[in-house]
Structure 1
Amino acid sequence: MAYIDFMSVVHKSTSRDYLARVNDPDFPKAKAAEMAKKWAFDYWDGDRRINYGGYRYMEGRWEKVAKAMADHYGLKAGDKVLDVGAGKGFLMFDFTKVVPGIEIYGLDISQYAIDDSKEEIRDRITHGSATDLPFEDNEFDFVYSLNTLHNLHCYDLDKALREMERVGKGNKYVCVESYRNEVEKANLLYWQVTCEAFNTPEEWTWWFENCGYTGDHSFIYFE
């Protein structure tokens, strides 16, 4: 299990006003979180003060992440890959551009996201939960989950990590939110609207080891 950062190139491209997020008069934090956790229009395409404020495909944004992962894990045509928490499938689509012939599948809890996903891969995204993946043991050559598992309570986080391990016969990769100091902890608390697992890197390592997760990982920090 290694620490490999594929996500900073995307995460650090966004500017954030943490105090404005938590003190907003129209969408105070509790209200924003309640709306976001329905995983519907407000979460993806509603007001930016709730979450994404319009999650649209941007040419090249996810392609660099797909290429970095494909190169690192040696993915090739015919390999079967699963995205746990695929959302609108933008990264899935960019995988098909970077590795023509790859068999890419996804799963997401949001039916809204699936209905509004990239048309080219929409039929490859299954509606469901990371805690109960509807796939066979050792079915995938590569399984990854980006910015998803920190949205689970501890009892579901345990199940999800074990499910990723079960369906993946090869490489796996997880990226989750974390914090290393009180500043990053405060920023995370201010910015997030769906996070349930607030863990330091050491605590995340504990989770990985105790759930039998053998894949790679990285963390998103709100500096």
Structure 2
Amino acid sequence: MANLDFVTRLHTRTQRNYLERVTSDDKAECAIIAKQYGKDYWDGDRRYGYGGYRYDGRWLTVAKAMADHYGLKAGDKILDVGCGKGYLLYEFTQAVPGIEIAGIDISEYAIANAKEEVKPFLQIGNATDLPYPDDSFDFIVSITTLHNLYNYELHKVLQEIERVGKENKYVLIESYRNERERVNLLYWQLTCETFYTPQEWEWFAQQSGYTGDFGYIFFE
């Protein structure tokens, strides 16, 4: 189990005003709307989520870096748990021609509005009960999904990822290392249910038997 960083460069491209996030609108009401994971969250006003999540190619460098690190090749099978609109999966098909993809997400809107090239390989579902046989995938990735679950769901999700994956797995989570990052995370987030340090996340992994890698996003 390693701590690997594939995403910080993308994450830090966005400028964030943490105080404005909690003073300009009714943050609780915004979170209620965001947690429906519908049009408002993906393609509505920024106060409810992404403010318009459209394909722009930003995930290609991430897909290439992951493919290189894990030695992915044509014929390998990839699962994205919490795939959203499938942009990362699309980039994997560009980075590794011939790779086989699958994605699952709880958001009906995201799947319905996914990138057309990958939409046939996506389905609606919950990470706590992955509808795949044991050892189905050569690589499993989950980007900014697990922190949206309650703590009592985490063991099951990590066990499910371990069950359906073979050796290579990578989970990216919003986290914090100090009080400033903790406050910034609380101010900025809309959908988080679990707020843990990297050490706590890794404890959950050990308790669940998860053997894959982790990555973290911090709000500095």
What band does the TM-score fall into relative to the shorter chain? over 0.9
Matched, 1:136 2:133: yes
> Residue 12 of structure 1 corresponds to which residue in structure 2?
12
Matched, 1:196 2:190: no
Tell me which amino acid in the other structure corresponds to 1:207.
F
How far off its partner does 1:139 sit? 0.5
What is the DSSP-based 3-state SS (H/G/I as helix, E as strand, rest coil) of the residue aligned with 2:142?
strand
What is the DSSP-based 3-state SS (H/G/I as helix, E as strand, rest coil) of the residue aligned with 2:118?
helix
- Residue of structure 2 aligned with 1:119, choices 111, 116, 119: 116
* Aligned pairs for 1:41-52 within 5 A: 41-52=39-50
Tell me which amino acid in the other structure corresponds to 1:169.
K
How far off its partner does 1:205 sit? 1.1
Following TM superposition, the consecutive aligned residue runs of length 4 or more in structure 1 with deviations greater than 3 angstroms are: none
> Residue 172 of structure 1 corresponds to which residue in structure 2?
169
Tell me which amino acid in the other structure corresponds to 1:94.
E
What is the DSSP-based 3-state SS (H/G/I as helix, E as strand, rest coil) of the residue aligned with 2:47?
coil
> Residue 51 of structure 2 corresponds to which residue in structure 1?
53
Pairs aligned (count): 220
How far off its partner does 1:8 sit? 0.6
What is the DSSP-based 3-state SS (H/G/I as helix, E as strand, rest coil) of the residue aligned with 1:119?
coil
Tell me which amino acid in the other structure corresponds to 1:113.
A
* Aligned pairs for 1:44-123 within 5 A: 44-59=42-57, 61-123=58-120
How far off its partner does 1:15 sit? 0.8
Matched, 1:32 2:30: yes
Tell me which amino acid in the other structure corresponds to 1:200.
T
Tell me which amino acid in the other structure corresponds to 1:42.
D
- Whole-angstrom CA distance in 2 between matches of 1:82 and 1:41: 24
How far off its partner does 1:161 sit? 0.5
How far off its partner does 1:3 sit? 0.8
- Whole-angstrom CA distance in 1 between matches of 2:70 and 2:197: 27
Tell me which amino acid in the other structure corresponds to 2:94.
K
How far off its partner does 1:53 sit? 0.3
How far off its partner does 1:169 sit? 1.2
Tell me which amino acid in the other structure corresponds to 2:140.
V
Unaligned ranges ≥5, structure 2: none
Cα shift readout 1:139-162 (whole Å, capped 9, x = no counterpart): 000011010000000111111100
**Contact 1:24 1:49 survives alignment (8 Å):** no
Unaligned ranges ≥5, structure 1: none
> Residue 153 of structure 1 corresponds to which residue in structure 2?
150
Cα shift readout 1:32-86 (whole Å, capped 9, x = no counterpart): 1000000101110110111100000002x00000000000000000000100000
How far off its partner does 1:175 sit? 0.5
What is the DSSP-based 3-state SS (H/G/I as helix, E as strand, rest coil) of the residue aligned with 1:120?
coil
Matched, 1:23 2:23: yes
- Whole-angstrom CA distance in 2 between matches of 1:93 and 1:9: 20
